[in-house]
Amino acid sequence: MANLTSNVKNRDNVGVLAPVIDAWINPNPPELAVGFSESKQGREVVTRVFKHRADEILNGVPMEEMVQRMRTSGIDHGVLTAMPGAKEWPSLREFHDWVAREVKRFPGVFIGSGAVDPREGMEAVRQVERMVRELDFKLVHVMPSLIGLPPTHRFYYPVFAKCVELGVPVCLNCGIPGPLLYADLQHPRHLDTICIDFPELVVIASHMGNPWVPELVAYMAKHENLYLMASAWAPMHYPQPLVEFLNSSRGRDKVMFASDYPLMGFERCMEELTSFPFRNDATRDAFMGANCARVLGWKL
């Protein structure tokens, strides 16, 4: 692989000296993108919520081109994530294996993460074990609105217990979902219950918790092991309560950069971060990569 620090104009503009990590990248080569283009619900979400990105999302970009776009925009590393929805795989296990192969194909660029469905009971628990022990994934994703149950439901708790046992964080979507699914399932109040019931579990909320951002910020200040990735939002639209929190002494180590590519483009995110009002260099470097590496235990 070529040197990842070459031609990183946008990173130099941001002023980041430490590695930049995107905490959520969805692989979207054409063979996966076809799942969105053939799905009525997928096309509806893309054209309604991410209409300016619709062509790229629905047509896909080869992995080699995606990695090159990361490089030229200034992103050094990313968490490559297997999430349901882009393609109707026979099983999530098969998608996990695909992501693991891509991580190996681009050494030093990615680490893997993947979703599980808690409704599968012990099979979901075994999938977490396999992802962490066999595939070396560093993060487990669960999307409550897609599952159709709040994350405080008893089906989730064996998965959370296994994550504690293995020392791997769990990422839970938080806030109103893009698809026409129930938003209440992703209200941040559920995170308060989870963090009390599992004080050792490292929880990463995603997608800002909109429109309940102040509540999510308050819960992060309350719970030591609750974090946030700023995924699927353009930096110029980050909610003000979150901007104030990440610039505070309590919030500097709590929030991490994530594009949720291809929903957000690498270039736009990095370009808008050049004028982001970071309090100081330490806050900027923490947000741009250091927090993700520490919370996921990623030794770069």
258: closest CA among 179, 205, 192, 218? 205
Q: What is the pLDDT of residue 16?
A: 59
* pLDDT tens by residue, 22-47: 999 999 999 888 665 556 556 666 76
Please give the pLDDT value at position 132.
98
**Amino acid occupying residue 213:** V
Angle at 221 between CA 11 and CA 260, to 5 degrees: 40
In the chain, what are the domain boundaries? 22-296
Please name which of 208, 248, 247, 249 lies closest in space to residue 227, comparing C-alpha atoms: 208
The CA-based angle 174-201-261, given to 5 degrees, is 40
- Angle, helices 157-166/189-197, rounded to nearest 10 degrees: 60
**SS3 of 140, please?**
strand
Instruction: Please count the helices (runs of H) and the strands (runs of E) in the chain.
Output: 15, 8
- pLDDT tens, position by position, 86-100: 455 557 899 999 999
pLDDT in tens, 96-153: 999 999 999 999 999 999 999 999 999 999 999 999 999 999 999 999 999 999 999 9
CATH class of 22-296: alpha beta
